[in-house]
Amino acid sequence: MDSSPAKVTSARRGYWPSMAALVVALPAALAAQTWGSIRDWRAQHVRQPVSATLGQPIDYAGASWTVTRFTRLTGIERSTVVLAEFEARAADPKALGAIPCEVRLADGSREWKPTLFADPVLRQQYPEAEQRSLCGGIAFAAMEPGQPARMVASFSIPAAASSLTLSIALYSALPNYLSVSEPQP
């Protein structure tokens, strides 16, 4: 085995440039490989609000949407029930019925998903709300083009929650979603 100083020095010269190339090439390869996954994650988690006002129609995801009611009701044991009613008029309601819909309520630091009319206060004060569909499929399935699909969501939240924002997102329109702020008394 030849261990002359010239051969050892020449092997060492190639070591550091190849390590530097590895430091650059490895992250670049990983980023290129996962770019699609990063874009999908971003579409699911980084969203752009489309501000809407209570009672005013706004175009979103191929329909004209209107939030018709955003009401706070006194709940049980330091809780509050929020009732949100909304409707959408679409030229092709059956196409919208095939798209998943997500409704949420947030106060800036917390977020709540809808409950299924479990609160007796809601059933007593607004019994007609139980006749409305949740957002998505069933609400659009029976509608004719141009007719309103009436939907509802109710939330059981802490009474201290304030500055509420309702969001309605159809997956086909992400990262955009409808955002309606609670009316101030």
Q: pLDDT tens across 88-127, in order?
A: 999 888 888 888 999 999 998 999 999 876 667 777 788 8
SS3 content of the chain, % helix, strand, coil (to 5): 35, 35, 30
- Are 115 and 83 within 8 A, CB to CB? no
Q: What is the pLDDT of residue 177?
A: 94
Q: What are the C-alpha distances in Å from 70 to residues 18, 73, 122, 167, 173?
A: 62, 10, 13, 12, 23
pTM of this prediction? 0.72
Q: What is the rounded distance in angstroms from the CA atom of residue 86 to the CA atom of residue 164?
A: 16
